[in-house]
Amino acid sequence: MIKLYIGGAGHGQEIIAEKETGIKPVQCSAEEAFVTPGINCFHLITKQILAEGGSPQEFVKELIGKNPDAVICCDEIGSGIHPFEPEDRNWREETGRALCILAEEAESVTRVFCGIGQRIK
């Protein structure tokens, strides 16, 4: 089952993920994510999907089906000032919604704060 690691930029989610699972998360494209055991910077994948006119929420449903044991790391990007550009607002919200779907399906969700992982699911 999916293991999700989230945290603010640079808080060390990929380090905790590797320590706990033995799988090293790597940055990859949306297509590569279907076959990558450890996915890093998931927020950049949602950005790529939106830039290509796709839906991050549909993508994660497909990802859960095709890569059901993935370790996924993502920066939390939804706690800043409402972005000026509509694309940035949409990216922020769509990433949040996609993470809700992943978290719902995940076996565990860990929030990393200053290098400390807090298991919230």
Partner 1 sequence: MIVFINGGSGSGKSAFAENVACSLGGPLVYVATMPVFSPEDEKKVARHHKLRAGKGFETLERPRLISGIPDRNGTVLIECMSTHTANILYDPDIDFSELDLESSERLSPTDKTEYYFGIIKKELAPVLQRKGNTVFVSAEVAQDGHTYDEETEIYKNLLTKVNTWLMTLADAAFEVVCGIPVPVKGELRV
Q: How far is CA 108 from CA 6, 55, 105, in A?
A: 11, 24, 9
Residues between 5 and 44 that touch partner 1 (CB under 8 A):
6, 8
What would the two tokens of residue 93 be?
């919200």
Separation of alpha carbons 99 and 41, rounded Å:
12
Considering only 52, 82, 85, 114, the residue that binds partner 1 (CB under 8 A) is 82
State which residue, 6 or 33, has the beta carbon closest to partner 1.
6
Strand partners, 73: 5
Among 12-20, 29-37, 58-66, 70-78, the segment contacting partner 1 (CB under 8 A): 70-78
The footprint of partner 1 on residues 90-119 (CB under 8 A) is: 92-97, 99-100, 102-104, 109, 111
Q: Which is nearer to partner 1, 53 or 84 (CB)?
A: 84
Q: 62 near 87, Cβ under 8 Å?
A: no
